[in-house]
Amino acid sequence: MKYRKLGKSELMISETGFGCMSIPSHDERKGISLIHRAIDLGINYFDTADLYDRGGNESVLGMAIKGKRDQVIIATKVGNQWKEGESGWHWNPTRDYIFSAVDESLKRLQTDYIDLYQLHGGTIEDPIDETIGAFEYLKAVGKIRYYGISSIRPNVIREYVKRSDMVSVMMQYSLADRRPEEEMLNLLHENNIGVLARGSLAQGMLASKPAKDYLGHSAAEMEKARSVITSLVKDNRTAAQVALRYVIENPSIASAIVGISRIEQLNEIARTMESDELSEEELNKLRQVLPAKLYEQHR
């Protein structure tokens, strides 16, 4: 496994990270076993959220890292508040909610601090300075080490770049979603803000799952993209690894965060960086298969 510095932080994170949302919530033992295996394989970045399974996802991760806290980088998210006695949640990026939510996350994670605390969304109408102030306070008192946002909204990202000291942005990025290439990646790179890429396998369609319409691309176009990826498979490089390498080899990307639910999947993802690097010719072949689009909303 190789590691990269996350933006302007001191966090050295694995180039492939573990997206904990896919951990089976009904089987704690399996989830803990997967996390332990990931640590053995060199993955040190684990990403969860208080939203997932009403905090149950954080709890499983907390149990798994007991006695291993110094080996892992823990990232969680805040902003989606569950409705009392109801299903669903509402958006709450206020200072008071963030202060109460972080304490609950710390309890579930069984740790004294969170390495990376992320705003789980964000709108341009938010009290952005209040939200930033809450994160800065949590940093000052040692409850979090760094903060970032999880967003694909260009207008929100630009405001946090201008007004905050965030170290990261988590955003969707893959061969099938190249929108970040057109306007976000350079901006973040220039400001030394690390990018955590999610959705790098496009719901599995770039690896093995059946194609369907996706983000303005037809099912036929998605099938064509997978066909090109498959043409680049070698003895030591699977289709999933080709798709992940397309993301990770972009210098703006700190880590590709992949949702993992099975041991076979984990073994393949963790060994991505042992596979052959994509040549410039192969990268160009991949870039030509689907057009890069622009974000249409949240301008």
Instruction: Please answer whether residues 163 and 132 qualify as being in contact, where contact means their C-beta atoms are separated by less than 8 angstroms.
Output: yes
Q: Give the phi and the psi of residue 198 in degrees, each rounded to 5.
A: -115, 165
Nearest to 56 by CA among 89, 27, 85, 93: 27
Instruction: Please answer whether residues 258 and 184 qualify as being in contact, where contact means their C-beta atoms are separated by less than 8 angstroms.
Output: no
Q: Give the phi and the psi of residue 150 in degrees, each rounded to 5.
A: -115, 105
Q: Which of these is catalytic: 45, 52, 117, 147?
A: 52
Nearest to 111 by CA among 54, 61, 157, 45: 61
The span from the CA of 119 to the CA of 153, in Å, is 13
Nearest to 91 by CA among 99, 163, 83, 153: 83
The span from the CA of 66 to the CA of 29, in Å, is 14
Q: Where are the alpha helices (DSSP H) in 22-65?
A: 28-40, 56-64
* Look-up of token digits 């037809």: 218
Measuring CA to CA, how many Å separate 16 from each of 22, 142, 193?
15, 27, 17
Q: Is 97 a catalytic residue?
A: no
The burial of 296, by beta-carbon neighbours within 10 Å (0-12 exposed, 13-18 middle, 19 or more buried), is given as: exposed
The span from the CA of 173 to the CA of 70, in Å, is 29
- Which of the residues are catalytic? 52
